[in-house]
């Protein structure tokens, strides 16, 4: 791939706790990831996104960092990460690591010093504020983990901000020393050889200096939790952020002078993330790409899906590059959430699609749709197997959000259960331990890797075929996207890449999907004004009769046009 390898790339997200356990303690580790990288490479992905493995008290399972430069003993030692990086590069895989910079763990040395007094060297490294005259928090901001976003610190007689757990205080990016320290962290990992960063909660780095109350959302748009009842005008999406991202991009570009481009992808939360995503990724001086929660909640119909992807092909969106995901470590698995079966609500306030069980769509349908989109793609471990969401007993829950919101919302543990490698092995081949950190799901046994490797009709084999098509066709990786049909649950896309001298000539594909439970007919290929479409991939019995394409429920067709 070109120096812009990340454009159109597919990255496989690995949640280390649940991927493979080598030392037998019931928790996945870095050595386990390294051992399984040949499997990841065999999928045909371009690299991995590795969730946090840094020193942490693990209240939020690594997203509460106590040492940004250290490997937590639970996952191994520094040499284990170096071995992982070397093996990934040997296999031709890029390595993008999570960076959690909006907040730290309360155990971080920076916070231990900052909380001690109002006059120490790091006194302003975190967001501190005086109480209101009545002793209440300084404003109405709410935590995504529940309750007010402020915690009282008696040593300073002030509140500190925490957008997540109370033990996860927010850094103050208005402090120049904080920005410098964060860039030093980036420098460390870039020098170590990583290929990029996934920036956790990137739109929460800055807050409004005035600490104004957030306004209420209009009635009808309010969610069930307090944090979903207000517009996050003052604790997110602040105008100072792009300047910091320009500093980060300059650092990353300097490390890319060796010809191995480093990339940064931002996670952007919020109800209307598009303007923030565009602001953070505009031009060549800011972040390379960003993704939102657009497809991590309820299933969209064809019109809603096009509404999400269309802005990236017009106006300002043409100067930015999007990323897409249908599953990750924070959302119920897409095979359950959209494709049938029970699904818990999205961990941070979304709702599962109650009608999903009635769909004819399958995990292959969603994989084919995801890999058809223009942008960079993130696949979550197990998505290539079509794993459904796991249902856990209350006593097995570990996620603090699920524990706090049970039974209305079981939290995120259901998408984090151990990976099934072998259907008949103890703990499905994940670990030799008698008990794993989360229980393995018996429902995953028939979908284990060894079973699907032996079945040419499996979701795993379909995923490999689709990924091979994406790598082979410049139209899928880099091409323009036009929606030819978007009616109800029927979607027909045209992907086209002109002959620019880099991809072996022009390339045009037609992609058709029936996302719903009823069969459909669409013109084919007359809808594109061309004839002679050559099928490349089909699923669920799609067939062409004359100029009509018959799409049973869940059907997919990829076809090449001359």
Residue positions annotated with a catalytic role: 200, 267
Helix (H) or strand (E) holding 192: helix 176-192
**Pairwise CA distance, residues 307 & 12, whole Å:** 26
Relative to beta strand 10-14, strand 263-267 is: unpaired
Query: With contact defined as beta carbons under 8 Å apart, do 312 and 375 qualify?
Result: yes
Q: Buried (b) or exposed (e) across 277-290, using 16+ Cβ within 10 A? A: bbbbbeeeebbbbb
Provide the token pair at 332. Answer: 């119920």
List of residues 6+ apart from 513 with CB closer than 8 A: 302, 365, 368, 369, 372, 490, 491, 492, 493, 551, 555, 556
Residue 305, H or E segment: helix 302-309
Q: What is the DSSP string of 330-345?
A: TS--HHHHTTSS--PP
Would you state the structure tokens that stand for residue 4, as one six-digit string?
């812009």
Q: Tokens in use for 329?
A: 């470590």
Determine the Cα–Cα distance for residues 291 and 103; give it in Å rounded to an integer. 20
**Which tokens is 468 given?**
């091979």
The C-alpha atoms of residue 539 and residue 362 are separated, in whole angstroms, by: 10
- Cis upstream peptide for 525 (omega within 30°): yes
CB count, 10 Å around CB of 122? 20
Q: Are 289 and 321 in contact (CB under 8 A)?
A: yes
State the burial class of residue 103 (Cβ atoms within 10 Å of its Cβ: 0-12, 13-18, 19+).
buried
- Cβ within 8 Å of residue 499, ≥6 positions away: 505, 506
CB atoms inside a 10 Å sphere around CB 150? 25
Alpha-carbon dihedral 452, 454, 460, 463, rounded to 10 degrees: -160
Give Cα separations from 417 to 103, 353, 389 (angstroms): 26, 21, 9
Alpha carbon distance 316, 323 (integer Å):
16
Nearest to 291 by CA among 317, 323, 319, 269: 323
Following DSSP, what letter does each residue of 3-72 receive, concatenated? TTTTTT-EEEEE-GGGT--SSSSSS--HHHHHHHHHHHHHHT-SEEEEPP-EE---SSTTSS-SEEEEEP
- Residue 221, CA distances (Å) to 224, 229, 272, 354 in order: 10, 8, 12, 19
């Amino acid at each position: 791939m070109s120096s812009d390898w990340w454009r159109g790339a597919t990255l496989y997200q690995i949640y280390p706790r649940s991927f493979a356990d080598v030392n037998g303690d019931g928790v996945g580790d870095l050595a386990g990831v390294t051992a399984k990288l040949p499997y990841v490479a065999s999928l045909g992905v371009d690299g991995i996104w590795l969730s946090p493995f840094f020193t942490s008290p693990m209240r939020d399972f690594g997203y509460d960092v106590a040492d940004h430069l250290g490997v937590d003993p639970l996952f191994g030692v520094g040499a284990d990460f170096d071995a992982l990086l070397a093996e990934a590069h040997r296999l031709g895989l890029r390595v993008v690591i999570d960076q959690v910079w909006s907040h730290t763990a309360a155990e971080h040395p920076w916070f231990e010093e900052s909380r001690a007094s109002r006059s120490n060297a790091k006194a302003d490294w975190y967001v501190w504020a005086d109480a209101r005259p009545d002793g209440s928090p300084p404003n109405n901001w709410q935590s995504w983990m529940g309750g007010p976003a402020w915690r009282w610190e008696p040593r300073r007689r002030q509140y500190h901000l925490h957008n997540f757990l109370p033990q996860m205080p927010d850094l103050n990016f208005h402090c120049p020393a904080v920005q410098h320290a964060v860039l030093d962290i980036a420098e460390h990992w870039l020098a170590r050889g990583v290929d990029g960063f996934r920036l956790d909660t990137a739109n929460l780095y800055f807050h409004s200096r005035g600490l104004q109350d957030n306004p209420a959302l209009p009635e009808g748009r309010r969610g069930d939790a307090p944090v979903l009842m207000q517009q996050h005008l003052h604790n997110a999406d602040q105008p100072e952020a792009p300047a910091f991202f320009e500093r980060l991009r300059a650092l990353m570009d300097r490390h890319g002078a060796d010809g191995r481009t480093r990339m940064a992808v931002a996670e952007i939360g919020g109800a209307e993330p598009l303007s923030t995503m565009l602001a953070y990724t505009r031009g060549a001086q800011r972040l390379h790409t960003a993704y939102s929660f657009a497809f991590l909640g309820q299933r969209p119909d064809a019109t809603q899906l096009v509404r999400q992807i269309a802005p990236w092909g017009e106006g300002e969106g043409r100067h930015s590059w999007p990323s897409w995901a249908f599953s990750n470590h924070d959302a119920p698995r897409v095979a359950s959430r959209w494709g049938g079966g029970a699904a818990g609500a999205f961990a941070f306030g979304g709702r599962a699609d109650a009608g999903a069980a009635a769909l004819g769509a399958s995990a292959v349908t969603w994989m084919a749709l995801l890999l058809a989109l223009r942008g960079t793609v993130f696949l979550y471990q197990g998505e290539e197997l079509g794993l459904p969401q796991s249902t856990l007993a209350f006593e097995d829950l570990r996620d603090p959000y699920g524990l706090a919101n049970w039974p209305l919302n079981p939290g995120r543990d259901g998408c984090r259960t151990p990976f099934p490698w072998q259907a008949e092995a103890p703990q499905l081949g994940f670990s030799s331990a008698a008990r794993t950190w989360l229980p393995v799901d018996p429902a995953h046994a028939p979908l284990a890797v060894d079973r699907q490797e032996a079945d040419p009709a499996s979701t795993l084999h379909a995923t490999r075929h689709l990924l091979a098509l994406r790598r082979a066709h410049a139209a899928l990786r880099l091409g323009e996207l036009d929606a030819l049909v978007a009616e109800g649950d029927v979607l027909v896309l045209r992907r086209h890449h002109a002959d620019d001298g880099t991809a072996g000539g022009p390339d045009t594909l037609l992609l058709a999907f029936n996302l719903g439970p009823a069969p459909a007919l669409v013109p084919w290929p007359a809808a594109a004004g061309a004839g002679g479409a050559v099928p490349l991939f089909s699923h669920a019995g799609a067939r062409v009769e004359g100029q009509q394409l018959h799409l049973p429920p869940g059907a997919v067709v990829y076809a090449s046009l001359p």
